[in-house]
């Protein structure tokens, strides 16, 4: 079991799951549970490389839309990749990182927001 924070998604009474979690689901009701997506692998739906990144974000920045299958429910997420050695259809795992961008490079006070999160790493 990992000490990393969860990659939290919300589950609703109708069975749908959203990431990131939202206060109201597609059925208009509040979440009934959470799901830790870091316990699952996902499949790359599409990906791209950004060479014009926001301040403090690594350049080039490889991004993907991935799809998790959580007990038959599809959940999509957008996030950074750990590499550009990736193809559509590849399986990836969420990997926690303490700093997705350099807090000193932004225009906001570093203490005003969180800088950690998950990247996706190929499993094979």
Does residue 58 sit within a domain?
yes
- Give me the residues of the chain with pLDDT under 70, please: 1-2, 102-103, 105-114
Rounded CA-CA distance 92/123 in Å is 5
The answer to whether the pTM exceeds 0.85 is yes
Q: Say what the pLDDT of residue 60 is.
A: 92
Cα(54)–Cα(37) distance, rounded to whole angstroms? Answer: 26
What pLDDT, on the 0 to 100 scale, is given for residue 116? 83
The DSSP 8-state label assigned to residue 111 in this structure reads G
Residue 86 within any structural domain of the chain = yes
Looking at residue 91, its pLDDT comes to 98
Task: Indicate whether 48 belongs to any domain.
Answer: yes
Does residue 38 lie in a domain region? Answer: yes
- Give the C-alpha separation, 23 to 68, whole Å: 21
If one counts the domains in the chain, the total is 1
pLDDT of 10 = 97
Range(s) of the domain holding residue 26: 8-100+111-122
| Residue 105 falls inside a structural domain | no
What pLDDT, on a 0 to 100 scale, did the predictor assign at position 93? 98
């Amino acid at each position: 079991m990992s000490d990393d924070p969860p990659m939290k998604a919300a589950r609703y009474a109708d069975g749908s799951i959203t990431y990131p979690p939202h206060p109201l689901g597609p059925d208009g009701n509040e979440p009934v549970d959470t799901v830790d997506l870091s316990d699952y692998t996902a499949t790359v739906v599409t990906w791209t490389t950004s060479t014009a990144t926001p301040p403090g974000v690594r350049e080039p920045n490889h991004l993907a839309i991935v799809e998790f299958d959580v007990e038959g429910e599809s959940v999509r997420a957008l996030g950074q990749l750990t590499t550009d050695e990736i193809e559509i259809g590849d399986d990836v795992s969420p990997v926690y990182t303490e700093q997705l961008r350099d807090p000193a490079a932004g225009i906001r006070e570093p203490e005003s927001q969180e800088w950690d999160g998950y990247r996706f790493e190929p499993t094979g």
